[in-house]
Chain A
C-alpha cells in the first residue's frame, strides 16, 4: 500500500501531510503515557520488529505470499500512540533509505497506515473488548485478530477515498472500491489470523508485555532473610 511520489496530486499530498503531522504530534505527547521515559528505545525496537515482521512472508496459496502490515498488532502490543510513532518511523526509513514509498507521499502513507490502519484496528479492538466484557486474557488474541482483519479493508477504503479526491486519472469509483476492498479483505484474513496467533503466543509467555491486556499486579510485602538458606 506504499504510495509513491506522483500518485496523488499536490494538494491532496499536502493535505494528508498536515493530517499526518497533527496525528504524529499528538502521538508524541501521548506516547509518554504508554511507555514513560522508555519511549525512545522501546518504540525504536518495536519499529524494528514491525519492519522485520513485514519481512516474514506467509504463504497465501497458489504460489503467492503475503506479509504483515502490523498496525493493529503494534497497537495491541504497545498501545495505539506508540504504534503510530513506530509506523511513522518505519515508513520514514522506508522512504528515505529504501526508496519505498514516496517522499512527498510520506504524509499520505503515514495517514493511511500509521493513523487509519492503527486507529481503525485499535477502535475495533477496544469496542469489541467492551462488547465481550471479557476480563480474562483468553479473548485478547481473538479480538486482536478480528481488529487486524477489519483494519486492512478500512485502510484500503481510505486509500480509495484519497484517490477519488486527488487521483490523476478518473477511474470508475465503484469498481475501484470493490476491487481494493475486496482484495484487501482477503489480505486482511491473513493479517487477522497471523495477528491472532502472534498475540496469542506472546500472551502465553509474557502477558505483561501486551498493552491491550494489562492486568492488575499485586504488590507484596518484602521479606528479610538473615541466612543464605531460606
Chain B
C-alpha cells in the first residue's frame, strides 16, 4: 500500500545542504526569512536578489525541480490573493493597459509574491534535506520547551501510521459503494472522523503504556546531541548574511 502521509517530505541525499547540522539549518532558515520580511516595501530589487538566493540554495540541495514545483502548490491561494490585490486595494491608482489598478495594491502584491515564494523555497530546501529525526533533535538543541518537542515528535512519527489507517478506512468505505458526492455523505465522513479519533486516542494511550514500561518519566532522553563547528555555521548562515547585507544596503541607499 502507499507510503502514507509525510514520508516523501524528506529526500535522502548527500548535498552540502543535507550535510549541515539541522539546528544550523533551522536557525539559518528563520533568521533569513525574518530579514527578508523586514525589507522595506519598495526594496523590490533586494527582494529579487533574495529570491535568487533561495533558488540557489534549492539548487544546492540537488533535489529535482519537479518535486520542488509540486511542493510549491501550497502557495496557490495567496498567489490568487496577490493577483486580486491590485484591483481591490484603495489609494492612488494608475492605468495599466485596460485596467485601473491601485498603486499600493500593486506594490503589496509584488511584496507578497516575492516574499512568500522566497520563504516557501527556503522552507522546501529545509524540509527536503532534514529528516524528521533531525528536526526533533534541532528543536531539542535550541531549547524549545521539551513537551512541545515531544508532541511534535509523536505527531511526525505517527503521521504515517494514522494516515494509512485513514487511507484504509477510505478504501473500505469505497469498497462498499460509497462515493462522497453530496451533502448526504457528511454523516459518513463525520462518523469516520469520529472512529479515527477514537483509534488515534487509544493508540496514544497504548504508546504511553509502552513508554512507561521502558522507564519514561515525562522527559525524553537526549542520547545523540547535534554538533556543529564554525565552518557549518559559516556555510549555513551565508544566506542570512546576504539578507543582512541587502537590508543594510537598502537602508544606506
Contact = CB atoms under 8 A, between A and B. Distances in A.
A and B touch in their complex, CB below 8 angstroms: yes
Interface of A: 4-7, 10, 13, 24-25, 28, 31, 37-49, 51-53, 55-59, 61, 68, 77, 85-86, 88-90, 92-93, 95-100, 102-104, 167-172, 175, 193-194, 196-202, 205-206, 209
Greatest chain A CB density within 10 A among B150, B180, B189, B198 is at B189
B155 A56 contact: no
A103 B29 contact: yes
Nearest to A95: B123
A197 B88 CA distance: 38
A204 B190 CA distance: 13
Contact of B151 (A40, A61, A172): A40
Contacts of B124: 99
Contacts, number: 246
Nearest to A196: B190
Interface of B: 5-6, 9, 26, 29-30, 33-34, 36-38, 41, 71-72, 74-75, 78, 85, 88-91, 102, 104-105, 107-109, 111-112, 114-116, 118-120, 123-124, 126-127, 132, 135, 145, 147-148, 150-159, 162-163, 166, 180-183, 185-187, 189-198, 200-201, 203-205, 207-208, 211, 218
Given A77-B197, A202-B198, A169 B108 contact: yes
Contact of B198 (A25, A90, A209): A209
B127 A103 contact: no
Contacts of A52: 5, 162-163, 166, 196, 200
B116 A4 contact: yes
A202 B194 contact: yes
Given A44-B155, A52-B166, A88-B148, A97 B6 contact: yes
A3 B159 CA distance: 23
B112 A168 contact: yes
Contacts of B157: 44
Contact of B89 (A38, A41, A98, A170): A170
Nearest to B146: A40
Given A28-B148, A40-B151, A48 B159 contact: yes
A169 B105 contact: yes
B175 to A, nearest CB: 18
Given A104-B37, A168-B111, A205-B194, A96 B151 contact: no
